[in-house]
């Protein structure tokens, strides 16, 4: 039996205020990198809910997605290290823009997040060598270009939160 290939699904918040974008500086095996507030979609959640959760965990701000900026794919190959084997991962990223709320008093940044930072698109482009992936800049550029899609473009069936048994008709 062959192994089925499955991309890792991630969600990202593209947060702009006064021409600057909110990024996180996070620890990775490659060192301290810049990323949009982003992370893996958890079991049982919709992409919209996952984006709101990840944005909160990584920034301590509530975030309400209002539009899909785009769906992106990239591939990352990490060489083997003394403590870990090599990795070859394809990511599928759902990027959303929306409304940023105030920081929640008492909330702390997720493990591995060093700090949040506001950067202009030019500052992000000037730091391309520090970006976690090429998708960070691409999402910002698409947002700047006005790329927006309605949230209902992504349908999440209720079975995602509460699985139902397959019937002969579903197969």
Whole-angstrom distance, CA of residue 58 vs CA of residue 37 = 6
Q: Is the pTM of this model over 0.85?
A: yes
DSSP letters, 26-62, are: EEETTEEEEE-SEEEPPTT--HHHHHHHHHHHHHSEE
Whole-angstrom distance, CA of residue 57 vs CA of residue 49 = 12
Q: Report the b/e string of 58-97 with b at 16+ CB within 10 A.
A: bbbbebebebbbbebeeeeeeeeeeeeeeeeeebebbbbb
Predicted pLDDT at 84: 83
Domains and CATH numbers, the chain: 8-79+86-150 (3.90.79.10)
Asked whether the beta carbons of 92 and 73 are under 8 A apart, the reply is: yes
Predicted pLDDT at 83: 86
Q: If the chain, 171 residues long, is cut into consecutive pieces of 10 residues, what is the mean pLDDT of each piece?
A: 87 98 95 97 97 98 98 90 85 97 96 97 98 97 98 94 68 55
């Amino acid at each position: 039996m062959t192994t089925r290939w499955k991309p890792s699904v991630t969600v990202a918040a593209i947060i702009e205020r006064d021409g600057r974008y909110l990024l996180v500086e996070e620890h990775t095996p490659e060192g301290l990198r810049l990323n949009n507030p982003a992370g893996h979609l958890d079991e049982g959640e919709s992409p919209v809910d996952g984006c709101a959760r990840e944005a909160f965990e990584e920034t301590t701000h509530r975030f309400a997605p209002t539009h899909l900026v785009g769906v992106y794919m990239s591939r990352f190959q990490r060489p083997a290290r003394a403590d870990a084997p090599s990795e070859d991962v394809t990511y599928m990223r759902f990027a959303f823009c929306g409304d940023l709320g105030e920081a929640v008093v008492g909330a702390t940044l997720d493990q591995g997040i060093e700090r949040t930072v506001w950067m202009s698109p030019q500052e992000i482009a000037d730091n391309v060598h520090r970006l976690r992936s090429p998708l960070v800049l691409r999402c910002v550029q698409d947002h700047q270009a006005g790329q927006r899609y309605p949230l209902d473009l992504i349908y999440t069936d209720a079975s995602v939160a509460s699985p139902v048994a397959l019937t002969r008709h579903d197969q």
